[in-house]
Each structure stands twice: as C-alpha cells, then as structure tokens.
C-alpha cells in the first residue's frame, strides 16, 4: 500500500507519466471489508492493467488495482463453465482454455487487459463478443459493501457497453463465469479468418488472430497505446447507403435492426490522418484506429489529436466518432469535450 503520490506509469498502457494520490492493491478477497470501510466515501478507481484508460491529469483519489487470481472449470454436460478471477490476464485465460481443449474464445485472443475489464466493455473482435459466452458476473458493490451476482441477462450487454460501464466506480468485478459450449463452431466472417475455411481448428484461428493483431496493432510495451481509441460508429441504413454510394470501398457490417456498423479505422485513414502527429502523439501508421505515444507524449497531446481526428472524420463523412477508451479527469470519468474545455 502507498499513501503518498504514486506513479501511474505501470498502470496505463499509454505510458503517460501521471500520478495518483493513493494506490492500493487487492490481492485477496479478505481485504475487501477493511478496504470498503476505509474507502466507503472515497469511491476508488478500479484498475486492472490500465489498457483502456487515458489519464488526462493527476488523479486526486485512490486507485485500487485488482490482482485477484484463480481459474476454475466445471463440466456442465454440454458446456464448460470457466470461472476466472478479475485480476487474471484476459489473453492468459484464452490461452488456458485452448490448452485444456475448451475452445470458443480464440477470436478474442491478444485483447489486452484483465478479466475484470472484459464485461465492462463487453470486449469483442473478429465477429465475437464476450456477451456470447458470459454466464454470470460477480461484483463487489461499493455502495452497499455487498457481493452481487449478475446473470448475463442482467448485464445489459451492448456494443462495447454494459451495466457496469455506466457505474464503473461502483462495481468492482471480482470474477467472470463463461459458458463454452462443447459443440464448438468456428466464427470466420471477419477479415483474414474467412480464408481459413470451415475446417479451421481453434488453434489455427487463434494463431491467425494473433498474427493479424500483431501485424496491425503496436505492442504497448514498445509504443504506448490503449488499443482502438474509437468505437466503430453505427448509423442508420439510409446514411450507410449514402456513404457507400459515395465511397464504395467503405467496409460496413450489420448491427442491430435498422443500424449499420462502419469501420472507424477506414474513415480515419480516408480522412488522411494515418501517420498524423501532434506533439508526442500520433495516429498509428498501420492501424489508424490506434493513437500512440511516440515518445514523451502528454495527455494534452493525445486529447488534442483525438479531437482533431474526430473533427476531420465528422467534416468529411458526417459521422461523429465516440471514444472507446475511458477518459479520466482528476476526480473520475470525464470525456473529450470536458477535457478540451479545460485545456482551451
């Protein structure tokens, strides 16, 4: 435990030199009652690996790092029930399930972050989302001091969304239980996976996903980033048709009824922003959806670059991008507009 200003450099993959007033580490569930009593009014910020956070200022509160560990498996007849503690590595969980011949998560390989972060964002990639496998979520409710159990139906999962995302300072994710059907079927509808064919094995899909992600996405250990900075926007069918008429190469994907999902990276690239630099921040030269710390970037550099990207895309396509990354202010969750107002 540290009660003096602590560097957040190890806890944000953007590699920004921000600090928190206090930092605590949760390693055992037995710590929860005392932590809750001492921080009941403080509403700590729950952090795993910090792979989806942009700290725009020194954090004036307490950061609580989830390091709960453990994975258990139950045979449920037609499926495997895999329960993982919130501090486990998500990619590590994917690897363990495949090693134990329990496929299903291979499309979600190499997504950075912890198990505890996965349901908050309803992580997804290559045609698969966490919600498809979620059986239940266990959280510690900071309002009541009680452990709550959430069946998947109560989690309000949506595109990069959940009930937890809208109360991220209230719910500390303790564990996640996944249902992996034994009747496994490959999901090959996205990008290079389609070329594998229906006979592809889980291991082949895993390797292709990893190879594709490594070729497109920079390693945060080498080039600070938080993965996809923006969500893929969803627009109405009429707007999608008009955009497709003007830009036939625009990648589009069906979303919920009446909506079409657009490829945000393509929009940013076509706006001429791939490789764009502002201070120490840049748009990645191979994947325009990723903003990177090129070395010595400040939070202001990244915020202003994100605002520039959003403005250019909206000017050219009439589509407003929404950050997927959580933007943190000095006292909690913020947004690009609030931070920009403070900078200007």
Instruction: Report, as residue numbers or ranges, the catalytic residues.
Output: 160, 228, 324
CA angle 222, 228, 232 (to 5 degrees): 165
Q: CA-to-CA distance for 298 and 306, rounded, in angstroms?
A: 13
Q: CA-to-CA distance for 229 and 201, rounded, in angstroms?
A: 31
Q: CA-to-CA distance for 103 and 145, rounded, in angstroms?
A: 36
What is the edge-to-edge ordering of all strands in the sheet holding 19-26?
Answer: 6-7, 19-26, 59-66, 45-47
Which tokens hold the place of 100?
A: 């134990």
Torsion, Cα of 131, 132, 133, 134 (10° steps)? 30
In which residue are the tokens 């709550």 written? 148
Torsion sign over Cα 17, 23, 29, 35:
negative
In which residue are the tokens 């809750």 written? 36
Residues 6+ apart with CB under 8 A from 214: 110
Packing angle, helices 299-317 and 336-343, rounded to 10? 120
Taking residue 272's Cβ as centre, other Cβ atoms within 10 Å add up to 12
Nearest by Cα to 284 from 299, 273, 295:
273
- Cα–Cα distances (Å) from 38 to 2, 24, 321, 343, in that order, read 14, 12, 39, 34
Q: 3-state DSSP call for residue 293?
A: strand
Question: What H or E segment, with its residue span, contains residue 121?
Answer: helix 118-121
Q: 3-state DSSP call for residue 151?
A: strand
């Amino acid at each position: 435990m540290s009660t003096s200003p602590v560097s957040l450099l190890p806890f944000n993959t953007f590699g920004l030199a921000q600090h928190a007033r206090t930092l605590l580490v949760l390693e055992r569930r037995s710590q929860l009652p005392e932590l809750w009593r001492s921080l009941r009014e403080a509403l700590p910020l729950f952090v795993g690996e910090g792979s989806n956070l942009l700290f725009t200022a020194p954090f004036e509160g307490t950061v609580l790092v989830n390091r709960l560990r453990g994975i258990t498996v139950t045979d449920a007849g037609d499926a495997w029930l895999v329960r993982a503690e919130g501090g486990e590595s998500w990619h590590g969980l994917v690897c363990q399930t495949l090693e134990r011949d329990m496929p299903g998560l291979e499309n979600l390989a190499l997504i950075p972050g912890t198990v505890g972060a996965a349901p908050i964002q309803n992580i997804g990639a290559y045609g698969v989302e966490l919600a498809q496998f979620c059986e239940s979520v266990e959280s510690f409710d900071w309002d009541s001091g009680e452990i709550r159990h959430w069946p998947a139906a109560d989690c309000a999962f949506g595109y990069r969304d959940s009930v937890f995302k809208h109360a991220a300072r209230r719910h500390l994710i303790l564990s996640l239980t996944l249902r992996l059907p034994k009747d496994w079927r490959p999901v090959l509808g996205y990008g290079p996976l389609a070329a594998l064919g229906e006979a592809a094995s889980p291991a082949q899909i895993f390797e292709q996903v990893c190879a594709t992600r490594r070729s497109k996405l920079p390693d945060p250990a080498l080039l600070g980033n938080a993965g996809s900075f923006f969500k893929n926007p969803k627009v109405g069918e009429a707007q999608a048709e008009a955009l497709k008429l003007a830009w036939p190469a625009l990648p589009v994907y069906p979303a919920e009824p009446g909506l079409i999902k657009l490829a945000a990276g393509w929009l940013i690239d076509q706006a001429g922003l791939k490789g764009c630099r502002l201070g120490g921040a840049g748009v990645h030269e191979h994947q325009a959806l990723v903003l990177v710390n090129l070395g010595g970037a400040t939070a202001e550099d990244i915020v202003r670059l994100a605002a520039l990207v959003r403005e250019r895309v909206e000017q050219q396509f009439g589509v407003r991008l929404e950050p997927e990354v959580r933007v943190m202010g000095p006292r909690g969750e913020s947004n690009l507009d609030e931070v920009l107002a403070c900078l200007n």
